[in-house]
Amino acid sequence: MGTLSEAYKDVPMRLKHVIPLDFESTKVVPESHIWPETENFPLSDHILPSDDNEKSKSWIPVIDLMAPNVVELIGHACETWGVFQLTNHGIPSSLIHDVEFQARRLFSLPTKQKLKVLRSAGGATGYGAARMAQFLTKYLWHEGFTIAGSPVEHASVLWPHDHKTFCDVMENYQKMMKSLAHQLLLLMLKWLEVSEDELNWKLSMSQDALQLNSFPACPDPKSTIGLAPHTDSMLMTVLHQSHEGLQIFHDGIGWVTVSPIEGALVVNLGNLMDILSNGKFPSIQHRVFVNQIRHRISVAYFCFPPTDSQVAPFAKSECPIYSSLTVKEFLQIRAKHMEDALSVITIK
């Protein structure tokens, strides 16, 4: 069974793109992190007026997982938005609190300590900058920590005598999120009317990853950005965010802030779902802005089939728009071409 690490080892990043900024000793935004304002990327839109924030709350679909028409609600949200907020999802609020607390515990460690578990140039797990960093002309106001499977190898380095709680919390969260993601995938595929044989195969996915994200308070938030506009590569992402910061792009509207709702998780679609649905469930472009006061934490759960699995538009797709390939092949194309990856496999 293919793993995430195997997929990335043949497309290593430069080490300078892996090491985040030393936020511990940074008092001003360095030139390397100051983004120029352009027509396509207006930094002044980062902090939306309160009226727009209130309006955006009504734009993003909010779906109760226990609703009797949940298949229709999710299907419509996936087709029209590519993102929705999910309530009554069954993940205990106490566990979500614990995950955020442990993430803050990790990112509050001295930089020297965090660098002991720096992600290798060709690696998939550990501490480091976002993979998109190598495609950008400026750096991001962000640091991350990626977990795939048990975090014990890295956690035991960070806390030689006190890593059990961190591991227990992260493993429990991954277990519960895996079950939720499986449930969501079943509902999405039901809306797409996938055949039972295909359904069983797709539901055999057994790979996942947990991404802890840190966006420290920034002395000049309008000059930089947490994460640049991008789509996610996997089937779907289930996200907890501690504070406002996530924005999604919707045609005809522009950038919309996804304001946190108490007890809700954000679900957005990735490139693999775009491929499987033959473009019916498009992957959503999103970005993250930072602020001057709060240290924002987000926890993203990614799910995907084993990397040696074949992915292609479902059999009922009359005119496939994407080529068939393995998950590993797509991730390697993505590692080389980032946001142009889907264009590379589009059937001309």
In percent, how much of the chain has pLDDT > 70? Answer: 88
Strands (E), 116-206: 126-128, 143-147
> Mean per-residue pLDDT for 192-202?
74
Q: What is the pLDDT of residue 55?
A: 52
> Mean per-residue pLDDT for 130-150?
92
pLDDT, tens digit, 9 for 90 and up, residues 304-313: 888 888 889 9
Q: What is the pLDDT of residue 293?
A: 93
> Mean per-residue pLDDT for 171-200?
89
The rounded distance, in Å, linking the Cα atoms of 291 and 310 is 41
Q: What is the pLDDT of residue 202?
A: 62
pLDDT, tens digit, 9 for 90 and up, residues 274-284: 999 999 999 99
pLDDT, tens digit, 9 for 90 and up, residues 72-109: 999 999 999 999 999 999 999 999 999 999 999 999 99
> Mean per-residue pLDDT for 206-217?
93
How many C-beta atoms surround the C-beta of residue 27 within 10 A?
Answer: 6
Taking the alpha carbons of 172, 6, 126, 259 in that order, is the dihedral positive or negative? negative
> Most confidently modeled of 45-59, 121-135, 205-219, 231-245?
231-245
Q: Is the pLDDT of residue 9 over 60?
A: yes
| Catalytic residue (one of 119, 131, 287, 296) | 296
The rounded distance, in Å, linking the Cα atoms of 312 and 322 is 7
Q: Is the pLDDT of residue 10 over 50?
A: yes
Residue burial 301-310, b: 16+ Cβ < 10 Å; e: rest: bbbbbbbebe
Question: 207 vs 63, which has greater pLDDT?
Answer: 63
Question: 317 vs 44, which has greater pLDDT?
Answer: 317
Q: What is the pLDDT of residue 1?
A: 45
Q: Is the pLDDT of residue 181 over 50?
A: yes
Q: Which fold has domain 4-25+54-345?
A: Jelly Rolls (2.60.120)
How far from the centroid of its chain's Cα atoms is residue 101's Cα?
Answer: 19
> Mean per-residue pLDDT for 150-154?
96
Question: Which DSSP state fits 283?
Answer: P
Q: Is the pLDDT of residue 194 over 90?
A: no
Active site residue 104: no
Residues 6 or more apart whose CB falls under 8 angstroms from that of 177 comprise 91, 208, 210, 238, 301, 303
Angle between helix axes 164-191 and 70-80 (nearest 10 degrees) is 90
Q: Is the pLDDT of residue 54 over 70?
A: no
Strands (E), 98-191: 126-128, 143-147
**Alpha-carbon separation of residue 81 from 252, 258, 268, 282, 311 (angstroms):** 12, 12, 9, 8, 23
Q: Is the pLDDT of residue 46 over 60?
A: no
327 contacts 303 by C-beta, under 8 angstroms:
no
Mean pLDDT for all residues in the chain: 89
Q: What is the pLDDT of residue 8?
A: 64
Question: 229 vs 202, which has greater pLDDT?
Answer: 229
The rounded distance, in Å, linking the Cα atoms of 243 and 261 is 10
> Mean per-residue pLDDT for 25-33?
94
Q: What is the pLDDT of residue 124?
A: 86
Q: Is the pLDDT of residue 50 over 90?
A: no
Residues 6 or more apart whose CB falls under 8 angstroms from that of 211 comprise 144, 145, 146, 147, 299, 300, 301, 302
Question: Which DSSP state fits 44?
Answer: G
Q: What's the length of the chain? A: 348
List the domain boundaries for the chain.
Answer: 4-25+54-345
Closest CA to 224 of 12, 33, 17: 33
> Mean per-residue pLDDT for 25-35?
94
